[in-house]
Amino acid sequence: MGRQGHIRLGVNIDHVATLRQVRGNTTTYPDMIKIMNLAIRGGADQITIHLREDRRHIQEFDVLNITRDSTVDVNLEMGANEVMTKIALKYLPAWVCLVPEKRAELTTEGGLDLFRSEHRVRRVISLVQPKGIEVSLFIEPSLRQVEQAHALGADACEFHTGKWVLLQDKRAKQKEWRRLCDAARLCHELGMRVHAGHGLDVPHVKKVRQLPYLVELNIGHSIICDAVEKGIENSVKQMKSLL
């Protein structure tokens, strides 16, 4: 495990919906189902979407369309609350990933504190697991948090890699990498799956794929940005050919 070729890739397509929503959902493009199918053709093992409380990108109709049409697992990232639990139970994604959510944040800025959110997390798990939905908890690479995830009955921990990615200082980065490795080992020893994600780009994926027992990465922003860089020339050529 943790070897190249054995790690599932969840492709987070939230930012495609961001592009649609900045025009107030008045355009028929980008078509989320088309993008989903292209990601699957590219090898995505899973489609990951985050239905945020402020609905800044993914809308409830996207959850409906994507869970209905996807030929691979759908991983629904969501806050641990009653409203979102009802939505998960309605559309039955393969996975739910519980994340902390602050309204003003640009993206998910830290992991869940499973001590402060213990009751809410326990309740969501107790409602969705009996319906066949597996639950991962998005946490910092902390041994305490991993133990608590196990106590709460999680199927997987998704380790927040964002801090590690952004660290510039070499020693601090190595220290954070060791924290990720220790947390991953404990997660596996306790019988949970090791997932990771946030802020990952090509150079960091070349390293993070060495994380012990890693079975899944969820990656969004860098893939969508790369797609824009690789695609814009052809898109401009198409317009230009009409003039």
Assigned token pair, 186 = 């404990």
Task: Given the residues 57, 77, 134, 176, select the one marked as catalytic.
Answer: 77
CA distance 227 to 74: 21
Amino acid identity of residue 214, one-letter, is L
Residue 12 binds ligand PXP, judged by CB under 6 A? yes
Residue 200 binds ligand PXP, judged by CB under 6 A? yes
Chain positions 82 to 101 lying near ligand PXP, rule: CB under 6 A, are 97, 99
Going by their DSSP bridges, the two strands 46-50 and 214-219 should be labelled as unpaired
Active-site annotation holds for 53: no
Question: Interface with ligand PXP by CB under 6 A: which range of 24-32, 57-65, 173-181, 212-220?
Answer: 212-220
Task: Given the residues 15, 57, 150, 198, select the one marked as catalytic.
Answer: 198
Alpha carbon distances (Å) from 55 to 14, 61, 94: 10, 11, 21
Residue 111 binds ligand PXP, judged by CB under 6 A? no
- The smaller minimum CB distance to ligand PXP, of residues 7 and 97, is found at 97
Peptide bond connecting 130 to the previous residue in cis, omega within 30 degrees of 0: no
Among 134, 140, 198, 211, binds ligand PXP (CB under 6 A): 198
Active-site annotation holds for 195: no
The answer to whether the CB of 204 falls within 8 A of the CB of 224 is no
Helix (H) or strand (E) holding 18: helix 14-21
Catalytic residues: 50, 77, 198
Query: Which residues contribute to the site for ligand PXP (CB under 6 A)?
Result: 12, 14, 50, 77, 97, 99, 107-108, 138, 158, 197-200, 218-222
